[in-house]
Amino acid sequence: MKVNFKKEKQWWNAKATKEEQDLADEAINRALRWREIERHLEGIKTILDIGAGIGVYSIPLAQRRFSVTHIDFSPSMLKIASQKSKSLNLKNIHFVEGNAVDLSQFPDHSFDLVLNMDGAISFCGSEAEQAIFESCRVTKKKLIITVSNKILMFPVWLASSLEAVKHFTPADYEMLERGEWHQEQFPENAMMTKGLTQNYFGAFKAFLPDELEKILKQAGMRILRIGGLGSLANLCGKETVEQVLRNKVLFEEFLDLCERFDKEILRDGPGTRQRAGLIAIAEPAEKS
């Protein structure tokens, strides 16, 4: 199904003011992403942050004197981010309205580091693969992306169906077989999204690790890391997460344990429950 990007834009505009409100294990997810970003900043001068929202990553990176291009689909997100930037008197961050599936305004290999995290891939639905290809195309040195993890999203879909309509639905099988969701595809879908922002969930695509790896290789990338992000937080449960979030020392130690768990025990785990649970870090196989 084609993606209704006009509807998508309205939906993201409505979500803009809540973009930095971390729920459940979101703070752990964000912190783990920051750790990966920090590992790949050597030799970096220019950064493109795709789906940059209200500047969670782009603005701190600009404060560290990187030349940052912040691109987002939502005018409301861009407005908030731009206001934050002006309040900090940042001159080295450029704001652009644009869609992750079409980065044609940027030449090939035009940014040292490309970030595409949270929704700018997964919420492109059936066009998510194109968004990945575009991210790869403009990468000169390093690419860090996160996408929704089908290992987690399939059971979430099953639970949502049972809660909303008391039986499994065609949308569950669509998620199992294709990893996709489109609001208008099946009659029951409207019942599953009742109570969400605008009673809508957007076009959506979830990936398995090997599916994501295949796409990145087709785009000419060499994989440095791919797998679940923060699965330990998900598996430990709500009480453990709440406890570590209240204590800075425990929080940092827990992040260490999360990283070891992802790399040493459950590489292809579900990731955190909130935010995108699958991360990939790659570089062009042939240096430009």
Residue-wise pLDDT tens digits, 198-240: 998 889 999 999 999 999 999 999 999 999 999 999 999 999 9
Q: Give residue 57's Cα distance to chain centre.
A: 12
In a domain, 178, yes or no: no
What is the pTM for the complete model shown? 0.95
In a domain, 269, yes or no: yes
* Complete DSSP assignment for 103-129: -TTS-TT-EEEEEE-THHHHTTGGGHH
In a domain, 185, yes or no: no
Tracing tokens 């992306």 back to the chain, one arrives at 145
In a domain, 198, yes or no: no
Tracing tokens 């996408």 back to the chain, one arrives at 147
In a domain, 112, yes or no: yes
Whether residue 155 is predicted with pLDDT greater than 80 in this model: the reply is yes
Whether residue 165 is predicted with pLDDT greater than 90 in this model: the reply is yes
In a domain, 84, yes or no: yes
Residue 288: predicted pLDDT: 58
In a domain, 95, yes or no: yes
Q: Of the candidates 107, 113, 117, 115, which has an alpha carbon nearest to the alpha carbon of residue 141?
A: 113
- Expressed as residue numbers, the domain containing 31 is 5-148+205-284
Pairing of strands 221-228, 67-72: unpaired
Number of domains in the chain: 1
Find the CATH number of the domain harbouring 84: 3.40.50.150
pLDDT in tens, 57-104: 999 999 999 999 999 999 999 999 999 999 999 999 999 999 999 999
In a domain, 30, yes or no: yes
